[in-house]
Chains A and B, each alone.
Chain A
C-alpha cells in the first residue's frame, strides 16, 4: 500500500473552506464561551449558597457529559423550542455553552489565587464589592488566566470537529466528504489531523508569546539537581 497524497491536492478547495469554517466557529464560540463564563464564575464565587449551587450544578452537568451529547441536545432542542437556526450557529451556541463551564472554572481559580487581602483592602477604602472586583482583583487575575485559558481554548478548537456530525462543513466534515469520494481514508484523515495540528500549534505558540509579554507563567523552576533527575525530570526542553 502506497500513500497517494494527490487526492489531497485535487481537493484542496474543500479543505481550505473547512479550515476557514473551523477557524470562524472556534473563534466565535470561544469568545462567547468566555463572556458567558464570567457571570457563571461570579455566581460560583458568591457567598450566597443558592447562587453557588446553581453555578455548581451548571458546571458539573456540562463537564460530566460528552460534548457530542450536548451538541445533539441543542440540535434537536432549539427547533423544539421553535428556534430554527443554521447548523454552524447551532454548533457554535452549543460549543459556547460547553466552553463556558470550563472557562468559568479557570476564572474562578484565578480569582481565588488573588490574595483575599486585596478585595478586603478595596472594601476598606470604601469600594463596593463589584467595584473592588473590577478595579482591584480582575486586573491581577489576567496573568493567572492566560495559561489555563489557552489550554481550554485548544480543547474547544478540537471539539469543533464534533460539529461535523450535524453537517457543519468544517475540516472533519470535509475530510469525510473527500474520503467518501476518493476512498483514500488514511491520506485524508492524516491531512485533516495535520490541519488541526497546525491550528492548535500556531495558537499555542501565539498565546505563549502573549503570556510572556504579560509576564505570566514565569516557570517557578527551582534549581534542584539530583541524581534522580534522570528518572524524575522528563521533557525539560521547554523550560527556558
Chain B
C-alpha cells in the first residue's frame, strides 16, 4: 500500500477547526485547574491535620492512577451516582481535577524556592493571612512557576486527545471519522499528530516569549 498524499492533505481542513475544540477544552480545564490548584495550596497551609491528610491522599491517588481511568470515573461513574454530565463536561472536570493536583505540586516547589523575606516582613507587620496570599505570595508565585505551568498546559492538550474515547469530537476523533469514510487511517492519524504537535509547539513558544517578558520580575 502506498501513502496517499491526497488523503493526507485533505484531512487538514477538517482537523484544524477540530483543534479549536482541543484548545478550548484545554484552556477551560487549565483555568479551573489554576483555581483548584491555588485553593488546594492555600488549604495545605492551614495546618488542619484532617484536611491536609485528605488532600495528601487525593494527591497520591490522582498522581498514582492513569488520567484515562479518571476520565472514565467522571464519565461513567458520576452519572451512576446521579450526576449527569455531557462528555465534554465530564472530560473538562476530569482533566481539571488531575491538573489541579499537578499544579498544587508545582506551587509547592515554587513556594519552597521563594525568598522568605517579604513574607516574614508581612507577618511581622501583622498582615492578615488572606492579604499575605493575595498581595505577597501569589503574585510572585505565578510568575515564578510560569514555565512549569506552560508545560502543564501542553500536558493538558495531550490529555484532551483522550476525550476522543468518551465520544468528544476533537482532533483525534475527527481523524477517526475521516478514516471511516476514506479508509485511510494512517494518513488521517499522521495529519492529526501534526496538528496536535503544532498546537503544543505554539503553546510552548508562546510560553517562552511570555517568560522572557516576565524574566525581569522573577525571583
| A and B interact | yes
Contacts of B186 in A (CB 8 A): 73, 76-77, 80
A193 engages B172 (CB within 8 Å): no
Contacts of B79 in A (CB 8 A): 185
- Docked Cα-Cα span, A197 to B66, in Å, equals 9
Contacts of B159 in A (CB 8 A): 66
Stretch from B6-14, B28-36, B118-126 at the A interface: B118-126
B123 engages A69 (CB within 8 Å): no
Closest Cβ–Cβ distance, residue A127 to chain B (whole Å): 38
A residues 52-89 with Cβ under 8 Å of B? 60-61, 64-70, 72-73, 76-77, 80
Given the known inter-chain contacts A66-B161, A172-B72, A200-B64, please indicate yes or no for A231 contacting B132, CB distance below 8 A.
yes
In the complex, whether B112 has a CB less than 8 A from a CB of chain A is yes
In the complex, whether B70 has a CB less than 8 A from a CB of chain A is yes
A residues 181-240 with Cβ under 8 Å of B? 183-186, 189-190, 192-193, 196-197, 200-201, 204, 224, 226-235, 237
In the complex, whether A164 has a CB less than 8 A from a CB of chain B is yes
Interface size in chain A (residues, C-beta < 8 A): 52
Smallest CB-CB separation from B52: which chain A residue? A235
A69 engages B111 (CB within 8 Å): no
Given the known inter-chain contacts A197-B61, A226-B116, A234-B111, please indicate yes or no for A190 contacting B77, CB distance below 8 A.
yes
In the complex, whether A123 has a CB less than 8 A from a CB of chain B is no
In the complex, whether A1 has a CB less than 8 A from a CB of chain B is yes
In the complex, whether B189 has a CB less than 8 A from a CB of chain A is yes
List the count of A-B residue pairs having beta carbons below 8 Å apart. 157
Quick one: which of B123, B162, B172, B197 contacts A228, CB cutoff 8 A? B123
Stretch from A33-41, A42-50, A106-114, A155-163 at the B interface: A155-163
Closest Cβ–Cβ distance, residue B103 to chain A (whole Å): 13
Contacts of A183 in B (CB 8 A): 80
B80 engages A68 (CB within 8 Å): no
Contacts of B63 in A (CB 8 A): 200
Smallest CB-CB separation from B44: which chain A residue? A234
In the complex, whether A165 has a CB less than 8 A from a CB of chain B is yes
- Docked Cα-Cα span, A204 to B60, in Å, equals 11
Interface of A is mostly: helix
Contacts of B132 in A (CB 8 A): 231
Interface of B is mostly: helix
Closest Cβ–Cβ distance, residue A103 to chain B (whole Å): 18
In the complex, whether A175 has a CB less than 8 A from a CB of chain B is yes
In the complex, whether A152 has a CB less than 8 A from a CB of chain B is no
B76 engages A165 (CB within 8 Å): no
In the complex, whether B185 has a CB less than 8 A from a CB of chain A is yes
Smallest CB-CB separation from A226: which chain B residue? B116
Closest Cβ–Cβ distance, residue A139 to chain B (whole Å): 29
B161 engages A232 (CB within 8 Å): no
Closest Cβ–Cβ distance, residue A29 to chain B (whole Å): 15
The 8 A CB mask of B62-88 against A (1 = contact, 0 = none) is 011111111011001111111000000
Contacts of A159 in B (CB 8 A): 66
B69 engages A232 (CB within 8 Å): no
Q: Can you pick out 11 interface pairs between chain A and chain B where the beta carbons lie within 8 Å of each other? A: A64-B154, A72-B189, A161-B66, A185-B79, A186-B78, A190-B73, A193-B65, A197-B60, A227-B120, A231-B119, A232-B119
**Chain A residues proximal to chain B, CB less than 8 Å:** 1, 60-61, 64-70, 72-73, 76-77, 80, 154, 158-162, 164-165, 172, 175-176, 179, 183-186, 189-190, 192-193, 196-197, 200-201, 204, 224, 226-235, 237
9 shortest interchain CB distances as A-B pairs: A185-B76, A161-B66, A228-B119, A228-B116, A66-B161, A186-B77, A66-B158, A158-B66, A64-B200
Extra inter-chain contacts (8) besides given A224-B116, A227-B120, CB under 8 Å: A60-B201, A66-B157, A179-B72, A192-B69, A196-B66, A197-B60, A200-B65, A233-B112
